[in-house]
Amino acid sequence: MSGAMMAMIAAGGAVFALPTAASDVSAGVDAVASLQFVTNGTFACQGNTLGVTQSGNWITPTALAPGAYTIRLHVNSGVTPVGPAVDTDHALSSNRTWTVTRSTVGTDTSTCTLTLKDGGGVTVATQSFTFTANRTV
């Protein structure tokens, strides 16, 4: 993973990384940009048809996952992604997925902040994140 792709903080032997974007450009079908955090310590960002795809580990080593870590998504501007409640700490003992879908011609964007916290509620990583769903036809 490149340095531009992650916010990293080393703490207690763990390294944390968060993604920066998910996008989709589609013609004739829904544009769907999604972000998923998985209990095994990985994340995936993808478009339904064509767009930005990122994957990696939100915690390294992944053997430390899911632990008592939580993830929070805050919407700074744009549409609110569908998924777990925003502005709420969600335990990573369950997979967490947010999506932005555009069903008609046009673009929906959501600029967010991701916050990863440890079991004590201490922030271990934050990252700006952008969803972009663009349906062209």
Q: What is the mean pLDDT of residues 111-134?
A: 97
CATH topology for the 3-135 domain: Immunoglobulin-like (2.60.40)
Sheet of strand 106-117, all strands in order from the earlier edge strand to the far edge:
21-26, 123-135, 106-117, 70-78, 90-91
How far apart are alpha carbons 41 and 65 in whole angstroms?
Answer: 5
Q: Are 23 and 33 in contact (CB under 8 A)?
A: yes
pLDDT at res. 49:
79
- Percent of the chain past pLDDT 90, that is, above it, reads 83
Among the listed residues 6, 114, 123, the one whose alpha carbon sits nearest the alpha carbon of residue 60:
6
| DSSP string of 56-80, one letter each residue | EESEESGGG-STT-EEEEEEEEEPP
pLDDT in tens, 33-83: 999 999 999 999 998 877 768 899 999 999 999 999 999 999 999 999 999
Phi, psi of 63 (to 5 degrees): -60, -20
Write the DSSP symbol of residue 81. P
Average of per-residue pLDDT values in the chain: 90
pLDDT at res. 97:
98
pLDDT at res. 2:
34
| DSSP string of 27-66, one letter each residue | SSS-EEEEEEE-TTSEEEEEESSSS--EEEESEESGGG-S
